Each structure stands twice: as C-alpha cells, then as structure tokens.
Amino acid sequence: MPLPCAAALVVPTEGELRPFFDLLPNLQRLRDAGPWEAYGATVADARIVLIHSLAGPVNAAAATERLIAQYAPGAIFNGGAVGALVDDLLPGDVILGARCVIAAPPAVREARALRGLRPSLLRYRRHGETNHVDYLEPDAALLARARAIVQEEARGWAAWEIGGWPGHIERRGAIVVEGTLASADAWTLDHETTADLRDHYGASGEDMESAYVAQVCAIHAVPFLAVRVVSDNERASALDAAEVQAVIAAAGARAATILARLARGLCLDSIAAH
C-alpha cells in the first residue's frame, strides 16, 4: 500500500526546484508520473511529492491536476520567485499569498463589463455548480503555519547580495508581508501595467502560477498556499539580463526553505493523526 501523500508542491523552474534536493535529502525521481518530472520524499511514514511544472498558467494548472488525481495530497503548495509591485518590497522579501487573483488588463476588464460579464477571470465548476469569484484565499491553518515558519527563517537570512537591489537604498534584512498575488501569463515590465496590478487588485506581487494552482485546488477542495520570495522590483531597479536566472534561483532557495518545513510538518501531523 503506498504511503499517504501529506503534501505536494508545484515548482515552476529548475532553479526553484534545485534547493529541495538539499532540504529533502531522500528526494527521488518518481517513475509513475507519466510525462511529468516528479519527485517524492518520505518523512516518517508519509510522503511529499514535488512536480516540476515549468513556468506559466497552463503548466501550473495541468501539473496541479495531475498531482491531485494521482497522489491525492492533503495540501498543495506553490512557491518560488515573484516580482514586487509595491515600492517597499525588494529582492529577498517574502509574500505569503493571502489572496490570489488572475490578472486581466484594463481593456479586457472593460470589454467583459460591456458584454455583461464579470471582470474576474477566476471561474470554475465544482459539483455541477459554476463558481465565479474575484479572488481565492489560502487555507487559514496553512497560512498561520507559514507565518510562524517564515518569521523564524527570515531572521537567519543575510542581506540580499545577488542582484536587483536598488543602489540608492541601504541593504537590509528581509521583510514579510501577507499580500495579494496577481498571476499573469507573462512577466510584466512596463510601469503602467504594474501600477494597474497594484492599484486595481491591491497586488503586492506578480507571478505566473499561483492563482491557477489555487483555482484547480478550489475545484477539488484541496487546501492550498502560495509562498513567494521577491526576485525583482522593476519599478525600483530593473534587472540586467545576466542577473535573471541567479535572482530567480536565490529567491526560490528562500521560498524552498519555508515550503520544505511546511511539507515536513504536514507529514508529521499525518502520522500523529493515525
């Protein structure tokens, strides 16, 4: 009988995946995941499954559906790097996803409103009923756990030295916020669009996966949480092309320390409950 899967993680890029091999030393490639690159680790008598989705909405949603259908995890986490949309969030800072939204440009929202459609792009069917919501929230217990873990982890992090830090701001330790994550299908660079995401959605950061993972989890009523670490703030200091992969990997490494602890904790809880 296979071990119960206490937690599963959707990890977008190779740089964001790599830290888990040190954090979960018995992580092994799974051969039953079809075309997906998936890995499993055992903690006590429960299992953690990670899937390497690649970036983007379709990849994230499809990977989440595969995890749920095949491994029936008790909870799903999504994490990695995020672009900051507010001035006071800088590389190395943490955004715990208190809300997830799918970002729609103003023209799309206006066109939908003109046709009598809800502006939000978050909609899904569950048990024969259509749900159309403005945002999705995480599982409250998972958010509380993450809040305690990240405060402890962040105290041990050095000031950010990787890249993307604005030259006119003195380096500092990481700060942690609970904010809205706006998910889009591209990396937004122009300031007008980032300002719209901030002002319309109240978003603290933009990624390409969190809301799509959250939506699939909502269909199946699986507890979900996104944990993101800022890799860049384009409004404060644009990244050089040569910095991109390094800052994503560094942000992913910080996120991984939090996510691995969350997943291990759920494994221990699963065993205690039995």
Q: How many domains does the chain have?
A: 1
> What domain range includes position 15?
5-273
For residue 147, the domain's CATH number is 3.40.50.1580
Nearest-angstrom CA–CA distance, 166 and 180: 23
Provide the residue-wise pLDDT of the chain in tens; the chain has 274 residues. 678 899 999 999 999 999 999 999 899 999 999 999 999 999 988 999 999 999 999 999 999 999 999 999 999 999 999 999 999 999 999 999 999 999 998 999 999 999 999 999 999 999 999 999 999 999 999 999 999 999 999 999 999 998 899 988 999 999 999 999 999 998 877 888 888 889 999 999 999 999 999 999 999 999 999 999 999 998 888 888 889 999 999 999 999 999 999 999 999 886 555 4
Backbone dihedral region of 112: left (phi > 0), alpha (psi from -120 to 50 degrees) or beta?
A: alpha
Contacts of 238 (CB under 8 A, 6+ apart): 189, 232
Torsion of CA 74, 78, 79, 82, to 10 degrees: -150
Nearest-angstrom CA–CA distance, 6 and 75: 7
- 225, 238, 250, 187: which is closest to 95 by C-alpha? 225
Local structure of 206: helix, strand or coil? strand
- pTM of the predicted model as reported, rounded to 2 decimal places: 0.94
